[in-house]
Structure 1
């Protein structure tokens, strides 16, 4: 699957090449990460035994600024996966015009089977392993799958201990108490909701009472579902690792959130719903399907059989290249991940700027800035889609992003 993600990312680049104006030699450079580090992480477990974990950090491109990208803890983490994800981060930061490059990191583990103390020791050891690669002006990590504000606080603390002073801008997505920003926790989901709303406007459809299915009910999926419900949409299905729930009349999203907060999963929620599988959710007849979990869930089979009218990619790389082609043939538009889920990195940028200035903005200012940047990027994608007669929105988004990164390389030249 990880290798598939990398091949998908490279294929998406190749699809966009005919629509961009950059030097072929520069385009070849864009297909290769600048560096990838693999680290061995011995950790003392609660029972006194020592377990050795594998960790990675891939820095894909820094032509436009410091590397930026999350850290995930998951059994499926691999070098190919972090390479693909770091590439997507590069195009994402360029598309929304942030002065960043792209990176990604991860540790092969299952934190759900570990105690909080074990996860903390693992985090601090991983930080020591990659600390020579990261820094406020070098590479700024953030949360991703199975990492959160607490994880970022441990990384910041460990890095600061080595530095001898508090260095809050080494990571983003921190708790507000140690330099985090208002709005960061909901930023990715808010961005998905904003781009979904904009897409409905572009298609001249009414979001009010539109039916929505969200695959993945973690931080991103739950926030997306709640905000779209607040906008008037009818969220008819959500799912997580335990499976999904479906109600054609609409779910009480707040009640579902409360259940998950108490029980950790959707399992056991029975308030007038039908239990469905994740696979069934992807095939529902809805106005908008929002994959918000992991990569490669919309396969060729799903693309042929889904009855959704629109796909909005809240997850990274949820649609395979082959599935993209089928969705295009079926006239089902896809809002690409590098735009739809960019809200998180936008607010991470705002957090980083606030830390560097030792200043802070309130929630209203942060959310207004988030919406403004996403709206500009959305409009640029649409303008490129129309002006260059791109086959789909993903190709248009890539054209904008690749040209920005490519032109930065052209202006900087090749050293030595």
Structure 2
């Protein structure tokens, strides 16, 4: 059995853990040691690899909009920001925009969200039904009151590539990654003691919980911290379409079902009904969900999708924050040196640049210097102060 001591241990080495490690290593004010502990170094089943990987500013809360405005600039400049020597990472960012559609009963909400988004600098276009039909002639707008489309700054990208770019940049700056599962965490003086499945231990002064859907709540519980983060399965289905659907954005139907281009075809998905959305860690795909819900919904909205050829499908997991479906990010009151980076509820990839930088700033400078992320602190749960995000996809 071996014992390792570091200044900062990060549990979870996917996109969040790697973003934090990378930002720490790049901060000129940091001269400590970092260790990233990841239980699955293949990343085959991590959320970063299985996500639909998209970014939008069409949120209803200022903090989420600001995080994504920062994120799109980061993704556009990733080749420079995360270059390792002459190797410049590419993530195939496609700014095709989101298109949120609203029925008459939700038009007021769409208008209010649009006003906030544009005030904060997002390039979002509000479209009446005639404007929607003109811009997207393949779209059925018979039951639609309005739509909002991201003209710039929204779209999709290679999420696995983003994770690996952070990881490679961190490792190039001498951040070691340790394959192993943390099975217990405890206070050790002013710091922490982590016990791994193989019996090895890690001592650290500061601990970051980026353990994701499968481990964040358990790690926090070891330290006496209750976080309402559970694993929720989400399925993604791909298909080819016989007809061309030119200029298709990431379309969000009023039902919450989404569809977007993927290569020469499309992918789609949706949250299941709340009554059929248990906590689970299985990866089984229920194809009847596509046949009975997704396909009829997208074929109603885009008649060309009535004639399609289904393709591959897979399942992954959200680390769902049951309190308000927003990230739990930042320090934990009462446990000095413990930081949360969990509960992103499906927004993790697009929020990883800002979240990673924010946690690194707290560790190095003891305050946020780029974006104020305090609305996402855990303390809001005890204060019953939810981040009321109404644009949840």
TM-score, with structure 1 as normaliser: 0.28
Higher helix share: 1
Higher relative contact order (CA 8 A, sep 6+): 2
TM normalised by structure 2 equals: 0.29
